[in-house]
Amino acid sequence: MTLRPAFLLTRRLILVLTAASAAVSCSQPETEMLRPMPALRELVTLTAIAGSAGNPIVDVVGIDSCRLIVADQRGAITLVETQGALVELAVIPGGRSIHFEAVRKDRFLAWASSPPWLARVSLNPFALDSFKAPRHKWGGVFLGPAVEFRGTIAMAPLANPDNSHIGRSESGDARLVDLLGPGGSTSFGGPSLPATGDYTSWRTWRGELGQTNDTLLFAAFADGTVHRMTLSSGDSLPAMALPVYFRSVEARTEVLRFPWIQFGNFPFFMDTPQIVTATFGPNGTLYAIRPYGYRWSPRPNQFVRKAGTWIPTRQGLEIYSTNGTSFGAYAVPPDVRGIQADAYGRLFLLAGNDVLVMRDPSAPNTACTYPSRVPAVIED
């Protein structure tokens, strides 16, 4: 008589355990929403500049006469004319992923983090002047978002996630922003970041640099704030805080260690930044790709149990003037990974292998017209 209740109890226990196991494996935590996301308006697409799967476009910058310059993964820097004609301007060897900064006064900066490469690109006529980047206080040549600032180059190497491997240093804390000059690199402004600790300490300062008049701007992706720094002091003052739609989880790093590797490790950085990526326009306008919440996508394995990725549930483009006035929120493709704005009323969205050229809704209408799709890669 006592066996049957025991059997039923055990069966119930099995069911409860199975259900709990299923619930644990199926549940995907999401960040807590704090306010509803804004209604997204449509951007006007002017054209798509097409890379290829084997050679995607890695960055773009807009120049005068409706032209633009793209860099592809092969290292080619190519001028794209209005009607789609292509002129290969240079090929930078070394498998670098090239980044362009905004055009200012007929020139712009181009850089890559590994191997380190820094150049000033002049337009009219085109000239590319590579120069040796100075060593960072922590021992290597580390490059990141940069802007020409009152006769010098301001750079935030620790804001570049590619530099998360920098590791520990004996040489003390470093400021977020350096000034690069002929004499080397000097710590300039922004928060002071500790030289020791795990990989998380400076990855939480991922961001983008810009400028307006005599003020340096830094958009901090983690919390969605914009900081101002002046050349006289370098002190960082919070200038603007973007609307917070969800509660960010605490950033953390899990380190993957393989039994057959004794030296080096493989860090997984997990965070939920308030800005996915951003750029400053020539007059300091902020163009920010904003996530409207994240969900957790676990990738556990036997070496790192809690590894995974926070994936944005939805994202949009928000545009703000330097004093915080909103120019609205706009729909963007889900795979957008970079953005640039120019002084000619164009926005460039890096999405997939391509660049989408859009009309900048915060600027006067551009008169540029293009074919609907322009292949941008010159095949050998």
Partner 1 sequence: MRIRAHSAFGLLAAAAILQAVVLWRRSIPRIPEGPTLGDTLPALRTYAVPSDELIQLGNGASEVDSCTVVVAISTTCGVCALMRDQWNEKYSHWLDTVGAPVRAVWVAAAESDTLQAFLDGSGLLDAVGLARMRPGDPDFRTRLGVYATPTVYLLDQHDKLRIGSLGFNLPPVDSAAQICRTPL
Question: Which residues sit at the interface with partner 1, rule CB under 8 A?
Answer: 1-3, 6-7, 9-10, 13-14, 17-18, 20-21, 24-25, 73, 93-97, 112-115, 162, 165, 256, 258-266, 299-303, 305
Closer to partner 1 by CB, 95 or 172: give it: 95
Task: Dig out the tokens for 89 from the structure.
Answer: 């301007």
> How near is the Cβ of 10 to partner 1 at its closest, in Å?
4
For partner 1, give the closer residue by CB, 34 or 256: 256
Exposed, middle or buried: residue 125 (CB in 10 Å: 0-12, 13-18, 19+)? exposed
Distance CA 56, CA 140 (A): 29
| Alpha-helical segments (H) within 125-207 | 200-203
- Write the secondary structure of 361-378 as one string of H (helix), E (strand) and C (coil): CCCCCCCCCCCCEEECCC
Strand partners, 172: none
Give the strand order in the sheet containing 107-112.
99-100, 107-112, 117-122, 127-131
Q: Which is nearer to partner 1, 42 or 380 (CB)?
A: 380
Give the shortest CB-97-to-partner 1 separation in angstroms: 7
**Least spacing, CB of residue 337 vs partner 1, in Å:** 16
Task: Specify whether the CB–CB gap between 157 and 142 falls below 8 A.
Answer: yes
Min dist. Cβ of residue 309 to partner 1 (A) = 14
CB nearer partner 1, residue 57 or residue 226: 57
Token pair for 57: 């476009």
CB of 112 or CB of 242, closer to partner 1: 112
CA distance 104 to 362: 19
Mention every residue, 6+ apart, whose C-beta is less than 8 A from residue 334. Answer: 314, 315
The nearer residue to partner 1, 33 or 91, going by C-beta atoms, is 91
Our CB check for partner 1 shows the closer of 160 and 322 to be 160
State the number of CA atoms in the 13 A half-sphere of 64 facing the CB.
Answer: 9
Our CB check for partner 1 shows the closer of 131 and 258 to be 258
* Contact indicator for 233, 227 with CB cutoff of 8 Å: no
What is the closest distance, in whole angstroms, from the C-beta atom of residue 30 to partner 1 in the complex? 21
For the bound state, the minimum distance from the C-beta of residue 1 to partner 1, rounded and expressed in Å, comes to 8
Q: Which is nearer to partner 1, 128 or 261 (CB)?
A: 261
List the beta bridge partners of residue 118.
111, 131
DSSP letters along 201-230, please? HHHTT-EEEEEETTEEEEEETTTTEEEEEE
Tokens of 38: 């804004």
CA distance 152 to 32: 42
Minimum Å gap between C-beta 132 and partner 1 is 14
Tell me how far, at minimum, the Cβ of 373 lies from partner 1, in Å.
26
Q: In angstroms, what is the minimal distance from the CB of 140 to partner 1?
A: 10
Task: Name every residue whose Cβ is closer than 8 Å to that of residue 241 and which is 6 or more positions away in sequence.
Answer: 223, 224, 225, 226
Taking the C-alpha atoms of residue 153 and residue 179, their distance in angstroms, rounded to an integer, is 6
